[in-house]
Amino acid sequence: MAYLFLEDGSIYSGEFFGAMREVVGEVVFNTGMTGYQELLSDPSYHGQIVVMTYPLIGNYGANELDNESDGIQVRGFIVRENISKPCNWKMDVSIDKHLKNADIPAISSVDTRAITRKLREHGTMRGIITNNPDDAAMGKIKAYQVIEPVKKVTCKEKYRIEGSGYKVAVLDYGIKHGILDSLKLRDCDLTVYPSYTSAEEILADNPDGVFLSNGPGDPKDNPEVIEEIKKLIDATPVFGICLGFQLIALAMGADTFKLRYGHRGCNHPVKDIEQNRTYITSQNHGYAVLPESLPDTVKVTHLNWNDQTLEGIALTNRPTYGVQFHPEGRPGPQDTAYLFDRFIDIMKKTQEGDK
């Protein structure tokens, strides 16, 4: 028997699969019907135990091609039903084996609807996957905290992905492979830097633009990074996604806040204000930017059509913009991939303006 034990004392029982061990983390839910392998390997989930709202998980197994990083990033996984006999032409292993190989514990046969309702009503909570939900387990929950998660998921040294197009400096706060692939598809010449790299070192390589990636945690926990972004915005075009978007807003003097239960899934409607068109987007974040905190030099470009939270901004006096959602859409729709094309156009216009 396995249990999910939450910090408010709630206990949900099920069965172990994956690794049979104890683990503590922040418990969140994801509303996607597919894309569980991409989710498991997304560095933005560092420190979290993920509950899937869709009941059937594992029906197409797992493979070596669909990972969004070098390995599984979640601390634990909670599903209603673990499909033990998956079937797909490119699968290598079952989801159970995939989790076992990475030593990640999971629970099946759980009332995931009840957990989701709890988190929606009371907000995300810390919790523990355990076989013994006692006072000692509660002590571990209360003591748990994630410290400097970006530094734990960023690359350790810079590296290059060659291309014949525009030179793009990529700040890795926990970047997904899908984002790099989207930039490579546009033939960008990429240099990927660790999150703590100085603006001076980046600009010394003379990039045509800077990309700020997704990543885990509270954006306010990165004050040194924010100071470097201010320098980059003053010097070159900048495009940010997810955490990168939030860091741009903070660099411009705006404020952020923690959402009650976040936006996680590949079915979130977002309206592009300028196009007057709504897209279905892939999202994974627990924080949002306060619209009323934006300075006059920043305009709103996208809004979440479920709760009206801020999903995109652009600077009116600099070639800089960002979005909260994931236009690379892995998993999820790729309807907003035009935002990568916009980045190319901005770098092109900036270069032409310099001539």
SS3 4: strand
Tens of pLDDT, residue by residue over 97-122, are 999 999 999 999 999 999 999 999 99
**Beta-bridge partners for 298:** 315
Q: What is the pLDDT of residue 353?
A: 80
One of 38, 228, 311, 328 is an active-site residue; which one?
A: 328
Cβ partners under 8 Å of residue 70, min gap 6: none
Asked if 87 is an active-site residue, the reply is no
What is the spatial distance between Cα 203 and Cα 222, in angstroms, rounded to a whole number?
20
Over residues 58-80, mean pLDDT: 97
One of 68, 242, 263, 311 is an active-site residue; which one?
A: 242
Tens of pLDDT, residue by residue over 224-239, are 999 999 999 999 999 9
CA-atom Rg of the chain in angstroms:
20
Tens of pLDDT, residue by residue over 171-198, are 999 999 999 999 999 999 999 999 999 9
Whether the Cβ atoms of residue 107 and residue 2 lie closer than 8 Å to each other: yes
In this structure, what token pair is assigned to residue 327? 């236009």
Buried b (16+ CB within 10 A) or exposed e, 188-213: bbbbbbbbebebeebbeeebbbbbbb
Tens of pLDDT, residue by residue over 271-319, are 999 999 999 999 999 999 999 999 999 999 999 999 999 999 999 999 9
**Cβ count near 85 (within 10 Å):** 8
Sign of the CA dihedral with 229 first, then 153, 39, and 145 last: negative
Asked if 177 is an active-site residue, the reply is no
